[in-house]
């Protein structure tokens, strides 16, 4: 996706500015148009806030049109290839492009129920969610009042716009939408950070399926060279870290039982704050381990 330096956007013609940012709000270039005259923006945050003010200042009808401009999640438009490029990659981020038949039917059913009740599509910033988490949101929000849902839809639209801006514009600042997921392995048999431990990170669905997200090896500080997830929201959902503990100790010639008491240690945990830092350490010996929500 093409990115734009903030200074270029500041000096572009109004038409070019609107063309560049016309799809930050789904099918709604009028939002970019409305803030063009406020340029220059010193920061991305300033640009974002201006666009939010434009949306909030628009008449209720225009807001409703904006809401209705969004596609169904995992809906027919997606199957027909009729989504905007942003929507395509957003829905894919939560795995909504690879639903099985039953899941597709469930989304279809929820979409219909939601639209029947509220008259507009269900909107959620899917980059902040896993599939299970989207479904839980869907089910809960179906029980809300129309006024609450309209407000929630606008709030989610603002989140979506912020995430799109962060990806589209090169600026000195970021919109603080990025979370972090990290780990750390402490070897209490040797009394030092565990270097060379193989780690795999999986997303785990409620149904028990595990989807590999990342692999890493701990460095001499017992950490991974980079966080397992960074520079983006950590989707709300359940994860499993798997630590290859027996391989690590075998490589250090530590005496183990046969088979080793601990081979691969799985730590399953959930992320509830996608913009927060979730740190999940492993304090381990060949015969014990502990973990906790770290910081």
**Residues designated as active site:** 70
In the block, residue with structure tokens 């270097």: 195
- Residue 114 CB, nearest distance to its own copies (Å)? 21
Q: Which is nearer to its own copies, 72 or 203 (CB)?
A: 203
How far apart are the C-alpha atoms of 1 and 90, rounded to whole Å? Answer: 13
How far apart are the C-alpha atoms of 253 and 136, rounded to whole Å? Answer: 47
Q: Which is nearer to its own copies, 60 or 191 (CB)?
A: 191
Q: Which is nearer to its own copies, 148 or 206 (CB)?
A: 206
Cα four-point dihedral sign 111, 112, 118, 121 = positive
Q: Which is nearer to its own copies, 167 or 285 (CB)?
A: 285
Q: Which is nearer to its own copies, 92 or 261 (CB)?
A: 261
- Residue 224 CB, nearest distance to its own copies (Å)? 14
User: What SS3 state is found at 133?
Assistant: helix
User: What SS3 state is found at 176?
Assistant: coil
- Residue 97 CB, nearest distance to its own copies (Å)? 23
Tokens of 162: 């912020």
- Residue 247 CB, nearest distance to its own copies (Å)? 13
Q: Are 279 and 292 in contact (CB under 8 A)?
A: no
Tokens of 22: 């016309």
Tokens of 179: 């979370």
Tokens of 19: 């063309």
- Residue 209 CB, nearest distance to its own copies (Å)? 12
- Residue 156 CB, nearest distance to its own copies (Å)? 17
Tokens of 47: 């640009």
The answer for residues whose C-beta is within 8 angstroms of residue 236's C-beta and 6 or more apart is 128, 129, 130, 133, 270, 271, 272, 274
Tokens of 195: 């270097």
How far apart are the C-alpha atoms of 277 and 180, rounded to whole Å? Answer: 5
Residues that bind its own copies (CB under 8 A): 133, 136, 186, 188-193, 221-222, 236-238, 240, 257-266, 268-270, 272-273, 283, 285-295
Residues found in the chain? 295
Q: Which is nearer to its own copies, 89 or 263 (CB)?
A: 263
Beta-carbon neighbour count of residue 97 at 10 Å?
14
């Amino acid at each position: 996706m093409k990115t734009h330096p903030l200074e270029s956007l500041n000096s572009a013609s109004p038409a070019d500015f609107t063309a560049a940012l016309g799809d930050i709000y789904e099918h709604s270039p009028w939002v970019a148009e409305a803030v063009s005259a406020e340029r220059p923006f010193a920061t991305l945050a300033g640009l974002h806030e201006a666009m939010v003010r434009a949306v909030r200042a628009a008449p209720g009808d225009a807001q409703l049109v904006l809401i209705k401009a969004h596609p169904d999640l995992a809906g027919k438009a997606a199957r027909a290839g009729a989504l905007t490029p942003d929507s395509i990659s957003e829905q894919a981020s939560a795995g909504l492009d690879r639903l099985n038949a039953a899941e597709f039917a469930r989304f279809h059913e929820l979409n219909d129920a939601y639209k029947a009740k509220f008259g507009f599509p269900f909107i959620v910033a899917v980059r902040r969610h896993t599939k299970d988490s989207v479904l839980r949101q869907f089910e809960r929000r179906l029980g809300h009042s129309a006024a609450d849902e309209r407000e929630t839809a606008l709030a989610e639209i603002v989140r979506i716009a912020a995430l799109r801006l962060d990806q589209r514009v090169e600026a000195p600042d970021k919109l603080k939408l990025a979370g972090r997921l990290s780990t750390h392995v402490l070897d209490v048999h040797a009394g030092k950070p565990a270097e060379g431990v193989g780690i795999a990170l999986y997303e785990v669905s409620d149904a028990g399926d595990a989807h590999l997200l990342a692999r890493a090896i701990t460095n001499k500080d017992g950490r991974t060279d980079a966080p397992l997830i960074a520079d983006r929201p950590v989707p709300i959902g359940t994860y499993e870290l798997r630590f290859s503990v027996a391989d690590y100790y075998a490589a250090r010639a530590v005496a183990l039982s046969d088979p080793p008491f601990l081979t691969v240690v799985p730590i399953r945990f959930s992320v509830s704050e996608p913009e927060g830092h979730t740190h999940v350490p492993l304090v381990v010996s060949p015969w014990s381990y502990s973990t906790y929500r770290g910081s």
